[in-house]
Structure 1
Amino acid sequence: MTTLKHIVMWKLHEHAEGADKATNVRLMKDKLLACAQLSSGTLRFEVVTAQEAHAQGLEATYDIVLFSEFTDKAALDAYAEHPQHVALKGFIGAIRESRQCMDWES
């Protein structure tokens, strides 16, 4: 079965929206996890922070990463276009320094 993987990585500003980076990482993770069930075609939805990676002795070059897997592009689109996800983009846009994204089928 072919699935669609969606990975997004963000670097956050040291201070944004009246909070420091650590606070915004926690807020962003909570807000992303609240989106895990927005599409019925979501197969996997993981949010990992650099703090978690460092605690395990691993290297991290981004502050927060989303790894998700969907049944197909329509399922990813349903997630991306859901009003809850769309509303989250404003917050993330205000706190992020940079963003990288990649989707692929396998």
Structure 2
Amino acid sequence: MIKHIVMWKLKDYAEGNDKQFNANEIKIRLEALKDKISEIGKIEVGINNNPANSYDVVLYSEFESYENLNIYQSHPSHIEVAAFVGAVKVDRTCVDYEA
């Protein structure tokens, strides 16, 4: 099993919305991918409530293989969400590992 974890720090204001709105929008859009991309085993998005930390949103997802992760990442629906995230983020970090 492959675990794919991504964290983003968001701009205070982007795409006409504040950080909290955009964080919620990321959560809604990413979690909706479960119904569009069959290769996703599990997907969960959390919005940080700890002001001492610098990242605002975290994605936790699971895939049966790196091949399935690659299919997910190149899927048009994921690319569409990634474009939105790219427009509202300041920073991103990612870890993929086998469990």
Query: TM-score normalised to the size of structure 1?
Result: 0.84
* Residue of structure 1 in register with 2:75 after alignment: 82
* CA–CA separation in structure 2 for the residues paired with 1:38 and 1:77: 15
The Cα shift of 1:98 comes to: 0.2
Equivalent AA in structure 1 for residue 81 of structure 2: L
* Residue of structure 2 in register with 1:30 after alignment: 28
Number of residue pairs aligned between Structure 1 and Structure 2: 99
| Structure whose CA Rg is larger | 1
Q: How much is the aligned-residue C-alpha RMSD, in angstroms?
A: 1.7
Q: Percent identity?
A: 39
* CA–CA separation in structure 2 for the residues paired with 1:37 and 1:80: 15
Equivalent AA in structure 1 for residue 14 of structure 2: A
Write the deviation string for residues 9-68 of structure 1: whole angstroms up to 9, x where unpaired: 0000000011110111111111111112444332221110013xx4xxx96431100011
* Residue of structure 2 in register with 1:103 after alignment: 96
Query: TM-score normalised to the size of structure 2?
Result: 0.90
* Residue of structure 2 in register with 1:6 after alignment: 4
Unaligned runs of 5+ in 2: none
The Cα shift of 1:4 comes to: 0.6
* CA–CA separation in structure 2 for the residues paired with 1:90 and 1:40: 21
